[in-house]
Structure 1
């Protein structure tokens, strides 16, 4: 598996096995960045942005292998955000119950002062929120990534060459 091809180039095709390998690498890097964000600095979160390109490339090639356009990445991104947000909301009281009063306080600030008031309250408590919700965010991230792997990894590969390259999974495929 050529890592630069898998993670940095959106063109071509990628079979389920190499897709899962690339996704595991990206998920591992994402976990390391989340731990750095909690342990070292909240500013380390900016390191996640380059990973988005890697996710885009890996998923684009997997979609190409299934005979679809890479524009379906938008649907996967939307689904990832929605599922992750739902999991955060469900897991927060279970994995980070001590954060519930602070989150309630922030929501009340939003109701009282509007969206800008809520953002101000979040900024005031950014480090406390990052550390207090770390376990919840890690669990949510892992579960959502596993869901992405399950859905995209199970896409049926186009058995013949298509506009994006030769078929994957055959000895004569490059």
Structure 2
């Protein structure tokens, strides 16, 4: 598992790619959920731990996706296109469904946040933003999972290069070449 998640070199089969995506998605969802629910306590050591875990997850995502791109015979730099697409999916999901989660109470909360921001009332702004994030919590988690699944479906469906390429020999599993 260490080589799968933290080594960007080489190639991986589709099945191994999916294993990596599932592990990374589960860890990311749990991490984000803990961050949201413990927002008040995220300062100090817990905040530093959260940031370190975020950096480790970013690096692990690069490694898993890069190796899958390598297996398809292309560059791992395509991860940049994946991240841009994920950003647009995230914005689209929040644009389409954010209002469903907020309703009238969320609209009033947003207005209160704007007033707090204008009057520089940090305490009220912090409290209102935490309530807003709590209201959007299901959508945040759904967007993490939806983005991971969509990206994995696209990248996971790439046809493996059946020949040795600059990233190594083929993974050797016949079902990959369908």
* TM-score, with structure 1 as normaliser: 0.80
Give the match for residue 31 of structure 1: 29
Q: CA RMSD in A?
A: 2.6
The alpha carbon displacement at 1:146 in A equals 0.9
The alpha carbon displacement at 1:41 in A equals 2.7
The alpha carbon displacement at 1:20 in A equals 0.5
Give the match for residue 85 of structure 1: 91
The alpha carbon displacement at 1:122 in A equals 6.6
Structure 2 stretches of 5 or more lacking a match? none
Structure 2 residue corresponding to 1:129, chosen from 132, 151, 157: 132
Deviations 1:61-93 (A, max 9, x none): 000000110111111111111111111221212
Q: Which aligned pairs between 1:1-174 and structure 2 lie closer than 5 A? A: 3-41=1-39, 43=42, 46=51, 47-97=53-103, 98-103=105-110, 125-170=128-173
The alpha carbon displacement at 1:165 in A equals 0.7
The alpha carbon displacement at 1:124 in A equals 6.2
Q: Aligned partners of 1:168, 1:135: CA distance in 2, in Å?
A: 38
Query: How many residues are treated as equivalent by the alignment?
Result: 162
Structure 1 stretches of 5 or more lacking a match? none
Indicate how the Cα distance of structure 1 residues 133 and 49 shifts in structure 2: closer, same or farther if over 3 A, else same: farther
* TM-score, with structure 2 as normaliser: 0.79
